[in-house]
Structure 1
């Protein structure tokens, strides 16, 4: 469940995806679940090779190991660097989105206060600065239960309100046509809500019964697909064309503040996980590779974090704040991240690595699936990236004009 938790609250952007995609958006929620489930399985398959007795043996431990194996022997570390960059971008963007959504929610919860959305983002970041002192995930794990409870309460409150207005649901507003300009952004939002591939090798390696990994993937993605699809549809039917980027902004003021406070709490409690993961990747990639490291180790001989290493961590927290302040567009950032790194890590790279490492053992339909996923994923990624960037440029110009 840990692998899926970082994206838990980003289902709040799915109704916005239905706004621009209609029934095709619902189809893509199902399609993305199926594809991500499949690519998760083939990614884990790349961790194994057959020994002399024909038994499968785990010879790799991570996504980076798989990437390096695909690029060996000519470029033994190139693949790992590509995956690391993609992971860092995705994790940092997730942190930025938590700050964005915190500022957005607090601003819309207390519109009468003389505090701007940017100021709320700064206040949220001040509460997150202690994350720079994290040495392990023990402290983070203590908040997992609180995050789960908060998320459950949020979903219950939103769904309950939507069901209370079931008589007014706008079924005629669910379109069979799409907004050509904005729908690619919706694809990125949907893909981003499913991204968990970077955590799967570690998850599978820590399972007591790794043989049950496929079963776990099937049931978690079926459950996620059903819950996300119902949540997106019910919320869109309630507000139709008035659906906003963060669906809780549509709630009446009487309950919006309560729901948003729970959401902000969840966002702040969820921030440390992707932040620590990003720091871990950065430190291992640039500071802890012995003679190959680009910079000296962040830790002293006694294992304590050096002052300049702490400064770099604080700088990363501040960077997420600055991005949230100057690009405060939740749905567009989700779409950009999903199109850029989400599609790459979930669609493109797993299918490419599967073809590269297991080509001789694949059946024709597996080759067809891998090639089809790579082509479709590539088209969606490029299209979503272009339209998300265009949307951000337009939004930025609009903000300047205002």
Structure 2
């Protein structure tokens, strides 16, 4: 914890003497949890709910969603995949790993923070002991066969470099393609906003880390939401997170259809009297290709391949530079300094580019050295900032005011580098779609009656409907840049800017300095204003594009 606190110390002026203050916070949290310890797991604890310390966990592990942690852990896997399809017999190993994971608390004294709660913990909404959590999870998984397709919860197995790769893979995705378009909409000075959002999202990511450390037992973003605001906070935050994942799947289909249509612009057909243009044909084709991947019972291979997203991002950026320098397209366009009228679109796009907070807690809990998480966050966001800036500057200087929402659509088709970049943007979403949709599907399957949860046919039916629904949305709203601005303004601002500060203020109430409180309030205000303005602007633009 000492090194993690030191890293936090370097990240803000308010951390001056907080090295020792943070230790006090952790000790207070540990003492709050220790009041529920007993000498034996068989002992019965009867602690009235009103006497709960504000530093203790008040997490009902039976609350929806149960599948969030394992499904999001797929994004933090950089180890070689298992090619064995998971069966019911593999559940036992899942339980043992889950029990180990729950038994981990702090590096200094894990035994002092174990919670040994009696069997009536559900009635009192107290956290279960590690063994009881494993039994509860065992009972749940035995009902829901869909969880068998997921790997067991990640142990603390990721090194610093692996965690950095996971962080970059989460952050640097489809948002990279839109950064030149963001400069076109907001002007050159909008790059200041890119840096500002990078700093804010790095700080709020560290706030999530402090929330996780406030008391053992918190593992995911929904856990933090419930600890701060009860079941309502968990439910609302989970809905927002799943909405973000669903919208990303819609963008995957739009991106694939746009790039395929640019490669084969003359494609069209008429079926049953219905004329389909190239965008519609390739949206349907992409959906048919992707659909079998969401039926897979083991997504480990796709998880392994999706890590190639880091390589893909670098490859696409190098292809852009190659076209500009080697193929002599040149960097001739200048543009204007600032477009205030369209700056709100730029805000949404930049916000989307740094919104990886739904996965940050999973990366933290997967690290061998959690104290290095702050350094991981700084490294990942710094890398993304430079690659975003480089692509934005090169792309806009190459294509100017004609820049499309995806710069791959502007690249001359006759060059090999252009073809590589186009096909890269087509192939990568095929590996990421299933991983992105699976958490949404599992959350819905949890709501079904117990009799349905063991049916793989029901799972296939749900996932098929979800995939087809994203196709319908993508075909009716094929506006990649505007939809991304809407996601960034409405969803990403809440997840990455507003909620981390709100949860931090609530979980550390009474233990923060005035400067820390003022900083959080200022960030919440900035996020709320940007969210309102950006959402209104994005919806207005989408409405105009529909009319056109």
TM-score (norm 1): 0.88
State the partner residue of 1:5: 169
Deviation at 1:170, TM superposition (A): 3.9
State the partner residue of 1:53: none
| In the alignment, structure 1 residue 205 sits paired with structure 2 residue 348 | no
State the partner residue of 1:271: 433
Task: Structure 1: give runs of 5+ residues left out of the alignment.
Answer: 50-56, 288-294
State the partner residue of 2:137: none
Please give the residue correspondences for 1:388-399 in structure 2 after superposition, counting only pairs within 5 Å.
Answer: 388-398=538-548
Q: Is the 8 A contact 1:29 1:225 kept in 2?
A: yes
Whole-angstrom CA distance in 2 between matches of 1:397 and 1:321: 21
Deviation at 1:223, TM superposition (A): 1.2
Whole-angstrom CA distance in 2 between matches of 1:92 and 1:330: 14
State the partner residue of 2:402: 242
Q: Is the 8 A contact 2:489 2:530 kept in 1?
A: yes
Alpha carbons of structure 1 residues 393 and 350: separation in structure 2 relative to 1, 3 Å: same
Alpha carbons of structure 1 residues 242 and 203: separation in structure 2 relative to 1, 3 Å: same
Alpha carbons of structure 1 residues 264 and 322: separation in structure 2 relative to 1, 3 Å: same
Task: Structure 2: give runs of 5+ residues left out of the alignment.
Answer: 1-164, 269-276
State the partner residue of 1:111: 265
| In the alignment, structure 1 residue 58 sits paired with structure 2 residue 216 | yes
1:41 to 194, 206, 224: 206
Q: Structure 1, residues 117-153: CA drift from partner, whole Å, max 9, x if none?
A: 0110000000011133133431322313544443332
| In the alignment, structure 1 residue 383 sits paired with structure 2 residue 533 | yes
| In the alignment, structure 1 residue 18 sits paired with structure 2 residue 176 | no
Residue-pair matches, total: 373
State the partner residue of 2:374: 214
Whole-angstrom CA distance in 2 between matches of 1:184 and 1:107: 29
Whole-angstrom CA distance in 2 between matches of 1:79 and 1:386: 25
Whole-angstrom CA distance in 2 between matches of 1:121 and 1:393: 21
Moved over 6 A (4+): none
Q: Is the 8 A contact 1:151 1:266 kept in 2?
A: no
Whole-angstrom CA distance in 2 between matches of 1:62 and 1:176: 41
Whole-angstrom CA distance in 2 between matches of 1:28 and 1:162: 26
Please give the residue correspondences for 1:306-325 in structure 2 after superposition, counting only pairs within 5 Å.
Answer: 306-325=456-475
Whole-angstrom CA distance in 2 between matches of 1:58 and 1:118: 49
Deviation at 1:86, TM superposition (A): 0.3
State the partner residue of 2:226: 68
| In the alignment, structure 1 residue 81 sits paired with structure 2 residue 235 | yes
Structure 1 stretch 318-327 or stretch 272-281: which is displaced more? 272-281
Whole-angstrom CA distance in 2 between matches of 1:261 and 1:3: 24
Deviation at 1:160, TM superposition (A): 1.6
Deviation at 1:167, TM superposition (A): 8.9
Deviation at 1:110, TM superposition (A): 1.3
Whole-angstrom CA distance in 1 between matches of 2:361 and 2:452: 26
State the partner residue of 2:147: none
1:335 to 472, 485, 504: 485
| In the alignment, structure 1 residue 362 sits paired with structure 2 residue 512 | yes
The 3-state SS of whatever aligns with 2:453 is coil
1:372 to 522, 525, 539: 522
Q: Is the 8 A contact 2:167 2:380 kept in 1?
A: no
Whole-angstrom CA distance in 2 between matches of 1:308 and 1:144: 26
Q: Structure 1, residues 66-97: CA drift from partner, whole Å, max 9, x if none?
A: 111122xxxx3100111111011100000000
Structure 1 stretch 33-42 or stretch 264-273: which is displaced more? 264-273
| In the alignment, structure 1 residue 121 sits paired with structure 2 residue 262 | no
Q: Report the structure, 1 or 2, having the larger helix content.
A: 1
| In the alignment, structure 1 residue 96 sits paired with structure 2 residue 213 | no
State the partner residue of 1:130: 292
Whole-angstrom CA distance in 1 between matches of 2:513 and 2:256: 47
1:193 to 335, 350, 353: 353
State the partner residue of 1:176: 337
Structure number with higher relative contact order (C-alpha < 8 Å, ≥ 6 residues apart): 1
**Max radius of gyration: which structure?**
2
The 3-state SS of whatever aligns with 2:354 is coil
Deviation at 1:325, TM superposition (A): 0.8
Q: Structure 1, residues 243-297: CA drift from partner, whole Å, max 9, x if none?
A: 111111111121334421121011212212211232233344x34xxxxxxx446
| In the alignment, structure 1 residue 157 sits paired with structure 2 residue 319 | yes
Whole-angstrom CA distance in 1 between matches of 2:312 and 2:361: 28
